[in-house]
Amino acid sequence: MDKQKAIIVLSGGMDSGVLLADYSRKVDFAAALFFYYGSKHNDKEMKCAESLAETYNVSLKKIELPFIGELFNSSLLASSDEEIPEGHYAEENMKSTVVPFRNGIMLSIAAGFAESADADLILLGSHAGDHTIYPDCRPEFNAAFAEAVKHGTYNHVKMSAPYSNITKTDIARIGYEIDFPFEQTWTCYKGKEIHCGKCGSCTERKEALSCDGHTDPTTYEV
């Protein structure tokens, strides 16, 4: 059977990175899409996305969304003076980092691009740990959006978030198993020289990458 022709939303983080590695033998990638939407850590993410695309030999398309920084509110954005909160990811204070409907925007652009590139699958790396805070990472969002993508394209493009019911630690396990280069990924929301080790996203990365006695290859400030 012919392999599916896929588009992946590649953020430069470990979730979509492992997904790219994991699926690079299962599908043919038409392209990876990286979105430059003005987050504080977007430059760091972009370097990682470039590096991963090279490692896995996938064409990387960079898409700029300047209107997000201009019109949307979120502490995650460089246009916001609000500090990135510290503490555990699942906590209420991380809510300020939500960029409204960001996944919907990225997925709809991926759907249009898939149709133009004659691809039939969109892959997204969202996982179960994202559900608590981000409404556009939840299974009911993904299911409805997948329906919209199917009906809204001639190709009946399929959208899949294969990790949406497993945790970041499970994703780390998959990555370790296939020798995924975690050092080529970026997680920290603060986007400084090295990972801060204190924000919600760093806390979650640390927990995941030190699972089962593994040594987390990341250098953290703290």
**Residue 67 lies near a copy of itself (rule: CB under 8 A):** yes
Q: Looking at 54, 88, 116, 165, which residue binds a copy of itself (CB under 8 A)?
A: 116
Specify whether the CB–CB gap between 65 and 39 falls below 8 A. no
**Residue 120 lies near a copy of itself (rule: CB under 8 A):** no
Instruction: Give me 38's structure tokens.
Output: 């003005």
Specify whether the CB–CB gap between 139 and 98 falls below 8 A. no
The minimum distance between CB 32 and a copy of itself, in angstroms, equals: 13
Q: Looking at 5, 60, 96, 101, which residue binds a copy of itself (CB under 8 A)?
A: 101
* Residues composing the chain: 222
Q: Looking at 153, 167, 169, 210, which residue binds a copy of itself (CB under 8 A)?
A: 153
**Residue 105 lies near a copy of itself (rule: CB under 8 A):** yes
**Residue 138 lies near a copy of itself (rule: CB under 8 A):** yes
**Residue 99 lies near a copy of itself (rule: CB under 8 A):** yes
By beta-carbon proximity to a copy of itself, the closer residue of 35 and 189 is: 35
Alpha helices in the chain (DSSP H): 14-23, 42-55, 66-71, 102-116, 139-151, 168-177, 200-209
Buried b (16+ CB within 10 A) or exposed e, 188-212: bbbbeeebbbbbbbbbbbbbbbebe
**Residue 59 lies near a copy of itself (rule: CB under 8 A):** no
Instruction: Give me 21's structure tokens.
Output: 């590695």
Helix (H, G, I), strand (E, B) or coil at 199: strand
Contact segment (CB under 8 A) with a copy of itself among 10-18, 135-143, 170-178, 191-199 equals 135-143
How many other C-beta atoms lie within 10 A of the C-beta of residue 11? 27
Contact segment (CB under 8 A) with a copy of itself among 17-25, 43-51, 67-75, 167-175 equals 67-75
- Which residues contribute to the site for a copy of itself (CB under 8 A)? 61, 63-64, 66-68, 71-73, 98-105, 107-109, 111-116, 135-136, 138, 140-141, 144-145, 147-154
